[in-house]
Amino acid sequence: MTEINALSGPQLQPASGKPATAAVVLLHGYGSSGNDLIGLAPFFAQIVPESVFYSPNAPESWEGGMSGAYQWFGLSDFDPDLVRRDPKRMGATFNGMIEGARKAAPALNDYLDQILDHHNLEARRMVLLGFSQGTMMALHVGLRRKEQLAGILGFSGALVGTNLLNKELKTKPPVTLIHGEDDPVVPVQAMTEVKIALEAVDISVEAYAIPGLQHGIDGNGAQIGGAFLKAHLG
């Protein structure tokens, strides 16, 4: 049985008590950890009780210096206020993060492969769920894997390397995006840009803007996410 050691972090076994028939991998945001998103797993486990949940820590310690915090790649130069004031900068800003995503991708891909092998699952039985920078990684990796995943569920995120997607795209899993209308960190317009970019390469996308929500996941978003998991993992 394959050992899962490419990344570390908490996990939750299927609520059914039976061997997993599906897997959900939760990718945290910048300056956070797997302990953050694993808190969603008990809710989702009641909806897809035969799924195992993994919430890895990103491979780099957070450049902000807090112990126990991680990042998929550095964002010290990212200025959300500047992007919000001048939306025309958005594409270039997120495209400029492509090298960071590329550097983090091998460890994440190895981790996903280990999970699939460990539970003897096919790729079509795995969903990637990301928040913020975790959504960037879910989209970057999930659309470039050779075998198509069951889906990608992204909260409060963006797409890096939009200008390279058509050339690098390998599979087209269904995508659902959820974003707070009042997000001060990643402007909600980023979700619209992701939807446009994905639909341009014939990927099925649903997008939901949550009124009054800032940079986070609320009950409405969790309900939408649960319905997505139910639809694609059964």
Domain assignment present for residue 4? The answer is no
Domain assignment present for residue 3? The answer is no
What is the tens place of the pLDDT at every residue in 183-218?
Answer: 999 999 999 999 999 999 999 999 999 999 999 999
Helix axes 98-119, 133-142, angle to 10 degrees: 70
Comparing C-alpha atoms, which of 157, 117, 162 is closest to residue 143? 162
Domain assignment present for residue 36? The answer is yes
Domain span including residue 81: 11-233
Residue 28 is among the residues annotated as catalytic for this protein: no
Helices within 65-132 (DSSP H only): 80-85, 90-95, 98-119
pLDDT of residue 217: 98
Give the domain CATH number at 142. 3.40.50.1820
pTM, entire model = 0.95
What is the tens place of the pLDDT at every residue in 9-65?
Answer: 999 999 999 999 999 999 999 999 999 999 999 999 999 999 999 999 999 999 988
Out of 28, 132, 140, 232, which one is annotated catalytic? 132
CA dist 62 and 50 (Å) reads: 33
Out of 110, 118, 182, 215, which one is annotated catalytic? 215
pLDDT of residue 89: 72
Locate 79 and state its tokens. Answer: 């200025």
Domain assignment present for residue 143? The answer is yes
Residue type, 59: P
Residue 132 is among the residues annotated as catalytic for this protein: yes
What is the number of structural domains in the chain?
Answer: 1
Domain assignment present for residue 183? The answer is yes
